[in-house]
């Protein structure tokens, strides 16, 4: 277990706007993101040797499994019968697709592959969508007894507040920061700024979490083009190297965990990714983390080693995670403001980092960023992935 046999880089990124796409199908969203990524890479699509798709919910939301084949067909890749692979780890599906594609290229099996994530969630009514979301946690021992995903995150929040003195306002500030960042991202689901008062007065979902502590249900897709680093140097002026990939798992149900204020899967994923990259949390310039709920971001920035355990709330409050702070978190707007089309989220995080490391993030550019970290969580932490990206 250790270093990859070949270095792997990203040479193209693409994303649809995240949000409500009443006029676009799942297939159309996937095509748009994929075409954007291939155009950005500037490669002939005939050079693509494989397709990886992260998707959680096509079975439940659309009665359709086997969607890698469907997307390959829609984008014209079945003409040459190239492999198309779907992976699923709840809302970490996109990040998992990236990791599997990295292994494919690192193993020597493929040189160039496309990785995409897509989700079409708004075609079912919201009650049904919420029920389906329970399938990302332990439906047998939690969902069927009424413990929804927001309810489970609310338990984590209560425990964090109780043990570390994290405040309701600190939770709210995560959302306020991410909406501010999202207001500078034209592809974000929400571009409106909000205040702490807005968050505190929003309808409760599962107390202490209210509506503005929760990432929205979104439609959207994102894609990227992956390439072995040697080939990438010939094809691309600014390849971004994936210097670390880490993955961890944990119990699907919270009831079997010893501590609700930390995600073991995140810690394991971070450890493995830092080790592979040969760096530590202090070397990261910008990070996208999994804020499906505001408490998620606070726990994440602790588990990733950016701040000591219990100090995440304070870090948000004192501006350490804002643009220009010690470690800017979720410059894209995060899941809260950029939107959260489950399978697309992990890829969109990577795409934001690629823009940052290319120096092409516009208004939200972090000056001189050379290393970025992306952190993605499935459900309530049954799976977590961390990727580290570096300027070559």
Q: With H, G, I as helix, E, B as strand and everything else as coil, classify residue 115.
A: strand
Give the residue with the Cβ less far from a second copy, 120 or 158. 120
Regarding 247 and contact with a second copy (CB under 8 A), the answer is yes
Q: Closest distance between a second copy and the C-beta of residue 327, in Å? A: 24
Q: With binding defined as CB under 8 A, does residue 135 bind a second copy?
A: yes
- Residue 51 vs 122, nearer CB to a second copy: 51
CA distances from 176 to 87, 105, 323 (A): 33, 39, 13
- The interface region with a second copy, picked from 135-143, 174-182, 201-209, 333-341 by CB under 8 A, is 135-143
Q: Which is nearer to a second copy, 243 or 332 (CB)?
A: 243
Cis peptide before 175 (omega within 30 of 0): no
Window 95 to 124, contacts with a second copy (CB under 8 A): 96, 99-100, 102-104, 106-111
Nearer to a second copy, 161 or 252 (CB): 252
In angstroms, what is the minimal distance from the CB of 87 to a second copy?
A: 5
Q: Which of 94, 116, 117, 382 binds a second copy (CB under 8 A)?
A: 382
Residue closer to a second copy, measured from CB, 250 or 352? 250
Shortest Cβ 216–a second copy spacing (Å): 20
- Dist CA 223 CA 377 (whole Å): 18
- Between residues 61 and 190, which has the closer beta carbon with respect to a second copy? 61
Smallest distance, a second copy to C-beta of residue 299, A: 15
Give the C-alpha separation, 71 to 48, whole Å: 14
Question: Applying CB under 8 A, which of residues 73, 207, 259, 363 lies at the interface with a second copy?
Answer: 73
Residue of 7, 40, 219, 250 that binds a second copy (CB under 8 A): 250
What string marks each residue from 39 to 68 as x (binds a second copy by CB under 8 A) or -?
----------xxx----xx-xx-xxxxx-x
CA dist., res. 348 & res. 372, Å (int): 13
Name the one range near a second copy by CB under 8 A: 250-258, 290-298, 302-310, 357-365: 250-258
255 is an interface residue for a second copy by CB under 8 A: no
- Asked if residues 348 and 95 have their Cβ atoms less than 8 Å apart, the reply is no
Question: In angstroms, what is the minimal distance from the CB of 381 to a second copy?
Answer: 9
- Nearer to a second copy (CB atom), residue 88 or residue 288: 88
Which of 17, 86, 189, 375 binds a second copy (CB under 8 A)? It is 86
CA distance 99 to 356: 20
End-to-end alpha carbon distance in the chain: 24
Q: Find residue 242's DSSP bridge partners.
A: 389
Q: Does 84 bind a second copy (CB under 8 A)?
A: yes
User: 255-258 long-range CB contacts below 8 Å, 24 or more apart?
Assistant: 255/141, 255/142, 257/381
Under 8 Å between Cβ of 307 and 320: yes
Binding of residue 137 to a second copy (CB under 8 A): yes
Question: With contact defined as beta carbons under 8 Å apart, do 124 and 132 qualify?
Answer: yes
| Least distance CB 97 / a second copy (angstroms) | 10
Task: Indicate which single residue of 11, 13, 77, 225 sits in contact with a second copy (rule: CB under 8 A).
Answer: 77
- The correct pick among 117, 182, 313, 378 for binding a second copy (CB under 8 A) is 378
Of 56 and 354, CB closest to a second copy:
56
Long-range CB pairs of 357-361 (<8 Å, 24+ gap) are 357/240, 357/389, 357/390, 357/391, 358/238, 358/240, 361/331
Cβ-based burial of 357 (10 A; exposed 0-12, middle 13-18, buried ≥19): buried
Per-residue interface string for the shown chain with a second copy, residues 191-230, x marking contact by CB under 8 A: ----------------------------------------
DSSP 3-state assignment of 13?
A: strand
Burial 378-389 (b: 16+ CB within 10 A, else e): bbbbbbbbbbbb
Residue 3 within binding range of a second copy, rule CB under 8 A: yes
Q: Cα–Cα distance between 289 and 273 in angstroms, integer?
A: 14
């Amino acid at each position: 277990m250790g270093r990859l046999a070949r270095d792997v880089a990203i040479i193209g990124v693409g994303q649809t706007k995240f949000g409500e796409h009443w006029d676009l199908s799942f297939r159309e969203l996937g095509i748009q993101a994929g075409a954007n990524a291939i155009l950005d890479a500037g490669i002939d699509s005939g050079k693509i040797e494989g397709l990886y798709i992260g998707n959680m919910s096509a079975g439940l939301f659309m009665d359709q499994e086997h969607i890698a084949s469907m997307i390959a067909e829609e984008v014209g890749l079945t003409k040459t019968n190239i492999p198309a692979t779907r992976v699923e780890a709840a809302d970490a599906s996109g990040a998992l697709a990236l990791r599997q594609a990295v292994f494919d290229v690192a193993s020597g099996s493929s040189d160039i592959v496309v990785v995409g994530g897509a989700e079409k969630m708004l075609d079912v009514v919201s009650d049904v969508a919420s029920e389906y979301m329970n399938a990302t946690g332990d439906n047998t021992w939690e969902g069927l007894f009424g413990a929804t995903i927001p309810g489970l995150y609310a338990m984590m929040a209560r425990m964090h507040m109780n043990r570390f003195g994290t405040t309701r306002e600190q939770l709210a500030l995560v959302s306020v920061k991410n909406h501010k960042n999202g207001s500078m991202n034209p592809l974000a689901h929400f571009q409106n700024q909000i205040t702490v008062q807005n968050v505190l007065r929003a309808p409760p979902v599962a107390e202490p979490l209210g509506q503005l502590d929760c990432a929205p249900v979104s439609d959207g897709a994102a894609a990227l083009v992956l390439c072995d680093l040697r080939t990438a140097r010939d094809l691309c002026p600014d390849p971004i190297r994936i210097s670390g990939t880490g993955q961890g798992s944990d119990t699907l149900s919270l009831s079997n965990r010893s501590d609700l204020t930390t995600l073991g899967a995140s810690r394991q994923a971070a450890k493995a990714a830092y080790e592979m990259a040969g760096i530590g949390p202090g070397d990261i310039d910008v990070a996208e983390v999994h804020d499906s709920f505001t408490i998620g971001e606070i726990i994440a920035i602790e588990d990733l080693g950016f701040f000591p355990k219990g100090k995440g709330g304070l870090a948000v409050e004192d501006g350490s995670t804002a643009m220009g702070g010690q470690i800017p978190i979720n410059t894209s707007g995060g899941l809260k403001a950029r939107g959260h089309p489950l399978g697309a989220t992990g890829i969109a995080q990577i795409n934001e980092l690629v823009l940052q490391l290319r120096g092409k993030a516009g208004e939200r550019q972090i000056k001189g960023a050379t290393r970025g970290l992306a952190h993605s969580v499935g459900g309530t932490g049954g799976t977590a992935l961390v990727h580290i990206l570096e300027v070559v």
